[in-house]
Every structure is written in C-alpha cells, then in structure tokens.
A and B are shown apart, each in its own frame.
Chain A
Amino acid sequence: GQQVMQIPQYQHVQEGEDFTTYCNSSTTLSNIQWYKQRPGGHPVFLIQLVKSGEVKKQKRLTFQFGEAKKNSSLHITATQTTDVGTYFCAGRRGNTGFQKLVFGTGTRLLVSP
C-alpha cells in the first residue's frame, strides 16, 4: 500500500494567503523530491532534499526535510493563481542499488483571485 502520505488532500485558499502541505513516510528516506502537476498536465520536478533538517527556498516556496528524514513540508508564501495544481512529494528509501521512487498521495491546491 501507500507508504508516503500527504495532508491535506485538498486546500482552497484566497490569493495572498499562505499554504503548507505535509509529507509523512513510514520509513526513513534517503532523499525527498517535490513535484508540481498543473491541472491536466504531468508532474514536473521542483526540488530535491537530501540532508537531515535541510531547508531550501525557491522564491515563495520553502521546502524542509525533517530531522529523522521521515517527513517533509512545502510552504508557499502569499499564494498566486499560478500556484494552482497538485503537489506531490516522492522519496527513496535507500542509497545503494535500485530504489524506486514512491510518490505521496498529493495535495491539490486551488487559489481564488
């Protein structure tokens, strides 16, 4: 079954409000990746986090990797209508041999102007 859960499943905000999605794994991850899928589109890679406690920023987006490497979060400051889409986290459990990428359940973000 699904080993990487995301909450919330869906969130509707007004433009300018902040948004956060949380990603939780049942096992320790070697890394965490975040993808964005626009409505009707395909997932597109945003960023990768590797180190315990790592924080990375991309303009209004802030990504964190938990100390135990089992959880991660994506925070968007002052959302814009262009942020609409579904955000997925994805992780691998090992760093040797083939480790398949396990995707989270996704959080669908809707932003009203």
Chain B
Amino acid sequence: RKEVEQDPGPFNVPEGATVAFNCTYSNSASQSFFWYRQDCRKEPKLLMSVYSSGNEDGRFTAQLNRASQYISLLIRDSKLSDSATYLCVVNTNAGKSTFGDGTTLTVKP
C-alpha cells in the first residue's frame, strides 16, 4: 500500500463546477499536510497547507481528518486556469515530503 493515495482521475469538469479531491495517508505519525499544484512540464507549487480546523483560500477549501487519515481539497467555481495536476503531500519524519501520485483536473469551457 502506498503511503499517500489519491484518486488519479482524470477529472473533466465544466467551468463553474465544484470538484473535490480526496487523499488518504498511512502513517499516523504524519505531522503536516499540503496540497500542491503542478502544471505540465513545471515544478510543483504550494497551493495550500491543510489544518485540522480546515482552511479556506478563496475558491479553495482544504480539510484534514486525522482520525481517518484523510485529506480533501474542494475547488468551487472552477476556472479554466485550474486545469493542472493536484498533489497531496504529507510530511512524515525528518521533514521529508511524501507525494501522492496526483489527481489530474481539466476544466472545459
């Protein structure tokens, strides 16, 4: 079993749609959690950190459930520019980041 598992998608949604990505992790000692965005042929870039209390940044909402070892990302009112691969990232020990395989989102006009 992978340490971090994501629904690979792809997700193909129309503009304006709401889409949710899920991620589970296996190491209960994991310390910190993030969502990254990776555009084609580019490096990953931090989208947002994920906290137990949940956090929101504009159209993006992230949730963490430590008991279920589950992380989610909700994107509302999807834009064409949201098309990318979204990576769930979990920091385990020694500050190392473990990446999920990514979920590909395509937003269509």
Verify that A and B bind, or say they do not: no
Using a CB–CB cutoff of 8 Å, the interface residues on chain B facing chain A are none
Interface positions of A (Cβ within 8 A of B): none
